[in-house]
Structure 1
Amino acid sequence: MLARGIDSETLARRLGTDPDVEYAVVDRRVRPLAVPNDPLHTLGGADGPAVGQWYLRTSAAPSLSAIDATRAWDITQGSAGVVVAVLDTGVRFDHPDLAGKLLAGYDFVSTLPESNDGTGRDSNASDPGDWITQQEDNSLGGDFYHCTTPDSLGNYNGAPSSWHGTQVSGILGALTNNGVGMAGAGWNTRVLPVRVLGKCGGYVSDVVIGMRWAAGLVVPNVAANPNPARVLNLSLGTVGACGEYQDAVDDVVAAGALVVAAAGNTNGHAVGAPGNCSGVMAVGGLRHSGTKVGFSDLGSAVSISAPAGNCVNGFGPCLYPLLTTTDSGAQGPASSTYTDGTNNITVGTSFSAPLVSGVAALMLAVQPTLTPDEIRSLIQGGSRRFPTSSAPACTAPRFDGNGDPIDQDECDCTTATCGAGMLDAYAAVRSAAAGLIADIVVNTPTPRAGQDVSLTADVFRLINGRNLSSLSWSLVDGGGIVSGSVAGCSTNCVVTPSGSGTFTVAVTVTDDNNPPTQSTVSRRVTVAAASSGGGGGGGGGALGLGYLGALLVAVIAARHLQRRPRSAV
């Protein structure tokens, strides 16, 4: 039916009110899905993997953790106006599958040994290589003494260049649908390389300055960034608390940029910094089947999980790596190439993070005014539930009698350990495009066991002319401390957890559009133990000069010994 002077949606609603009309909807044009023609998207090269870029396809057995970028691309193929900063080892600007996708960037590596380019900080974000020779690895007192991981015999053998930033950039923003190489999750998204890592990693002081510059904030003695990023990807980390990262994260988020970080790869330990900072979207790693991959870290700091690559078999080709761009040089750059399933295998939460960053960029392409919190809410709310298998359930990070962390290999994810669910690009982008966004506000300042926890559903974005038609609550994961149903809750909901831990609730909102638009948001709530009712210890008092001196020494030592961030491969 055609009509003049009225839009299709309004006409359908009017017709739907006629008792003689069974239903009336807009007859929408159907087009083929946006499948890129990049050959490696479908099938790996001579060295595999045979499944190509399995992680971008629609979720289906056996690749349950695939992110369904294909259907997301049918909504949007991204925008060159959306910039994602990759804070990493720099990038190989000469890789043909990154041509036209890379902005100029900046090199913030301040120390000459680590920079490996002889210049320190400058406007050249190119990656010269980060190899460590065997001699450097065993030179007592040298800058790179015991930098690498020893082999089974305890020997330090050095390591070739990782080209880590080039690999991360490819997964996020490889040139797509050009009939060459691979596809990038963000399709048309542009990449801003910010070099903060060099030989043997880097320093937090360089990373936090790079973060501020990437988001368009003022950095002394550095020219302003002409292309501020809306998303910052940090596939790097270090063991320990958030510390000096937090101020930078707060500033970046206030500037309107989402911070995405890898959860880390220490075999199921607690997430380190910056993934454990407040306001950071930490990304855990999944096997193709949807279980936690053995190397991925976990815990309450994880916001979402995404494919990290896994080989399945202990021998022969790696079956499910994350294929991406790289360089063939063992030390300095040689020739542009791709990782594979045989000789150059890419796995790690470093490569889960840019999948989330790419999806965030697609969302910003359809709704440029989204805030970091809104992006997080939509990604988490649209995530798919974790599957179950014969593996044990993941638990919170544990420690042995000596206080050392206990490894957790493959396990079944829960929302308390692996975030809200498995990344679903299509659901996240669809929700962003719909313009219907909700949030769950935890009104109780410090939720405690045995006490009521007050929650409120808040709809804070609704396209003009539409009204909210329904709102429903669901208990996603009671965490063993919340049971029963929350379906009877209205805008406000009160639950009483029986113990400490975490539980996850979700709210689904629907508008009165025809057909209706629906959006789901989830919220994980951390519950502390019941209050003992006792008062705290004595007052603060002043710190003696001896303590302050020891603290200063500790801070200086931490700068050199404990706070060197490494790529999260």
Structure 2
Amino acid sequence: MKSKNFFVVFVVVLALAVLSCGAWAVQEPEYAEGEAIVVIRGASPLICGVRSLTEENMRSTAASAATRSGGSVIQLFSPVEETPSAATEARSARAAAGGRLTVAHLRAAEGESTEEFVARLKKDPDVVSAMPNYIVRCQAAKIPNDPLWPRQWGPAAIKAPEVWRHGTGTAETVVAVIDSGVIYDHPDLKDNMFVFSKELADKMCAESGGIISGDFAGSHGAWYHSKIHYGYDSKSDPYQAVPIGPAPTIDGKISDIDSGVLETMSRIGDVTGHGTHVAGIIGAVGNNGTGVSGLNWKVRILPVNVFSYNIMYRTQVETSDIIRGIDFILAAKRAGANIRAVNMSLGMWASPLEMEGSAYDLKIKEMSDADILVCIAAGNDREDIDAPKNVSFKGMRPYPACFKYDNTLTVGALKEENGGLLPDTSYTNYSTSGKWVDIFAPGTGVLSTCRTTELLSEVFDASGYLSTFGTSMAAPHVAGAAALLFSFDQSKSAGEVKKMLLDGADGKTAKEGYSAYGALDLNGAWEKGFGGTPVTPVSPDVDTSGDILSVLAELPADISQLTEIFSEDQLVGTEEGLYLDFDIVGRAVSGLGGREIEDISLFPVFRLSDGAMTDGRLCAAAFELDGTDFREGGSREDIAVCKIKPDGTMLEYQWAAGENEYVNGRYTILDEAGNIFHGRFDGVKKYTVVLFIADNGDFDLDNRAGVIVDPTAIATFKKYEKENSGGGCSAAGVGVSLLAALIFAIPAVLRRKG
């Protein structure tokens, strides 16, 4: 099963004008003020026994509706058929006689708002539907408006924009960053910083058994560091925990780090800029017109600074302070902070004999056991962890990278080169066996937030943004990806999200000889976790007395089998089958007008082949789906079954209520007992969709007799609250014959079924 997020613009086609876009993104609805597109019921004169609408009759009908609502007619569109099965209960009786509906573009009276005008129209019993004249602007993808976005190659490389079409994060998800701190009032980070409430802070301290102490209410996190003494008897004295913020940060001086003045130390924010860079990758505010965009446009960053000052090496981190920081994270988690991931872009080489079973080891395990996904940098020593060449590292491994638990992930670094991705072996550690490094992510030339002045390192720039490299930058790509996945479903465990990330990875990049799974693919991870349930071809089981041939569908796995119909760039190969490119599907379903699409289930391209098939022979193909593939509690009128063509157009299958309607281009649904489905879909039940396709007919993409090829998608419409007698307009009933003027963008989930 595979799935991919997709933002769909669906269109009720304009007369003489068609909007066609390759992909779209959600926007706030905009519309022509004081205007409405209206579908109106009116008397239809009988011509040769058939109800018809002349232009004069339509204009009269539109003028009457406009007058009743105090408006005027701007223009008319082609009339549409009113299909009783698509009508609301309130108007079914009036539609029973059949007829055609007037479609008009109306203007409100001077001074009346669009909302008032539409509301007034909907009260008219002859108005079937009334909607604003929406305006849509096309975009190439779901991308932020941050000015430095074009210089950020990492999010695009891991396919974050595809997932952003689903959502861009939530403030409910907390990511802890064990690092050098964070400039918490950075303009691109301040709105995504975690803040301890007094209740949470007090509970955390009270329930820690005295381990956590301090006044953390209003702060963003904690700084655990030690005062370093030098000489023959060198030692360190741990400072008490320093709350990070909330007072505005200061540039600070080196002497402030060991000043012992709590108020001063709490305002330094970040002693090197490294942690701020990491935080920006995870969660710089996106689409705010400022700087860069994090993988989560909304998230909460909880900084845990563990850096101390060493006069010889400028910065150092003591294991004791890391352990104190971990205790702080665990206490906050137990007290109720929704910490889903931790980033650790730090490390050292040490003997496994010392590390395994150590307090450091057990604390990493404790975070893993607390359902926290721990993302760890592999290190920048360009060593194969399985067999390091540097004699200094013989018999050693990098830690915490080599602490391996259920919910830990070790991350190597990728570079972008000649349009592709490669491990940056000029510095990244890796693992030829795949035992120690799980996955690779962008790490070279990564642009993110930083300090604006120097303090203890070179991770600063007056602009507040800097490009740098390292597995330190790769790990937060994974932590940020995890946070984004958690945002879609907080009930997911750390283990489930880890599995999504690993199973969705690109195994063609940075796997063989480098890692266990390859390169981070955020969209692949999303597909693994949120892609619905498999579709299973089954033998059609329908009662027929006619010449209908039942054929078990095949799911081709090799693109070469379909190259006469599709070009290679139109198909996406997966373990489950071959799927049409999502941009093609998006253009195709734009032909479904009148209702917002909530979900699109895309079948693998299937093939029917049987020796008894002849030109024009009607065939039946069937597929078993879970009830979850339809909207729970919805009816068949809440779905549309479509045949997608590679040119981005589609044909809609029409409902067949019985054997006498089993003809080309029809479909039916059977319940578990094999009866034609009526009523409401139940998420725990199975349903069989049966498609009727004539060999070499218009629903068959293959131009040869004896073979039928068909990619199918099921669109599920959003649920509407029942309106007044004006009702709504069903895409399934109106279809593409409605030549009205409504165009608007909506978010929809596009799933590959397989």
Matched, 1:301 2:421: no
Of the three residues 487, 491, 496, the one matched with 1:365 is 487
Q: Whose radius of gyration is greater, 1 or 2?
A: 2
Instruction: Give the CA RMSD over aligned residues.
Output: 4.1
Give the secondary-structure state (helix, strand or coil) at the position aligned to 1:100: helix
Q: 1:174 to 1:327 in 2, by over 3 A?
A: same
**Partner amino acid for 1:329?**
T
| 2:477 counterpart residue number | 355
Q: Which residue does 1:182 correspond to in 2?
A: 292
Shift of 1:248: 1.5
Which sections of structure 2, spanning at least 5 residues, go unmatched?
Answer: 1-82, 90-135, 195-218, 230-235, 256-269, 310-314, 386-396, 535-552, 558-574, 576-603, 605-623, 630-712, 715-749
Partner of 2:402: 276
Aligned mate of 2:176, from 71, 74, 85: 85
CA apart distance, 1:209 = 2.9
Task: Tell me, yes or no, if structure 1 residue 330 matches structure 2 residue 475.
Answer: no
2:148 maps to 40
Alignment pair present for 1:288 and 2:416: yes
In the TM superposition, what is the alpha-carbon distance from 1:225 to its structure 2 partner?
5.5
SS in 2 for 1:207: helix
Match of 2:375 in 1: 260
Partner-residue secondary structure (3-state), 2:339: coil
Structure 1's 161 and 207: CA in aligned 2 closer, same or farther, altered over 3 A?
Answer: closer
Q: What secondary structure, in the 3-state scheme, does the structure 1 residue paired with 2:520 have?
A: coil
User: Is 1:54 matched up with 2:146?
Assistant: no
* 1:430 paired residue number: 527
What is the total number of aligned residue pairs between the two structures? 346
Spell out the pairing of 1:8-157 with structure 2 (5 A cutoff).
Answer: 32=139, 33-42=141-150, 52-57=151-156, 66-103=157-194, 104-113=219-228, 120-124=240-244
Q: CA deviation at 1:119?
A: 5.2
Residue 211 of structure 1 is matched in structure 2 by 326
- Preserved contact between residue 440 and residue 515 of structure 2 (Cα < 8 Å): yes
Preserved CA contact (<8 Å) 1:125 1:193: no
- Comparing both chains, which one has the higher relative contact order based on Cα–Cα distances under 8 Å and sequence gaps of 6 or more? 2
Deviation at 1:130, TM superposition (A): 10
User: In structure 1, the residue corresponding to 2:450 is in which secondary structure?
Assistant: strand
Q: Report the residue type matching 2:379 in the other structure.
A: G
1:421 pairs with 490, 494, 518, which one? 518
Q: 1:374-399: per-residue Cα shift (whole Å, max 9, x none)?
A: 11111111111334xxxxxxxxxxxx
Query: Do the aligned residues in 2 keep the contact of 1:85 with 1:214 (CA within 8 Å)?
Result: yes
User: Displacement of 1:297 after TM fit?
Assistant: 0.4
**Contact in 1 for aligned 2:224/2:241 (Cα 8 Å):** yes
Give the Cα separation in 2 of the matches to 1:303 and 1:519. 28
The separation in 2 between residues aligned to 1:356 and 1:167, in whole angstroms, is 14
Find the partner of 2:344 among 231, 234, 249.
Answer: 234
What do the CA deviations read for 1:135-156 (whole angstroms, capped 9, x no partner)? Answer: xxxxxxxxxxxxxxxxxxxxxx
Give the Å deviation of 1:128.
7.6
Give yes or no for contact 1:35–1:70 (8 Å, CA) kept in 2. Answer: yes
Which aligned pairs between 1:400-411 and structure 2 lie closer than 5 A?
none
| TM-superposed deviation, 1:195 | 1.1
Q: How far 1:4 sits from its partner (Å)?
A: 8.0
Corresponding letter in the other structure for 1:328 = T
Measured in 2, the distance between the counterparts of 1:470 and 1:246 equals 51
Structure 1: unaligned runs, 5 residues or longer: 7-28, 43-51, 58-65, 134-159, 219-223, 310-320, 388-412, 438-468, 474-486, 488-507, 521-569
Task: Compute the displacement of 1:162 (Å).
Answer: 3.2
Instruction: Tell me how far 1:132 sits from its aligned partner.
Output: 8.2
Checking the alignment, whether the CA contact within 8 Å between 1:185 and 1:359 is kept in structure 2 is yes
Residue 247 (structure 1) aligned with residue 323 (structure 2)? no
Q: Secondary structure at the match of 1:422?
A: coil
How far is the alpha carbon of 1:131 from its aligned partner?
9.0
Q: 2:320 and 2:361 mapped to 1: Cα distance?
A: 12
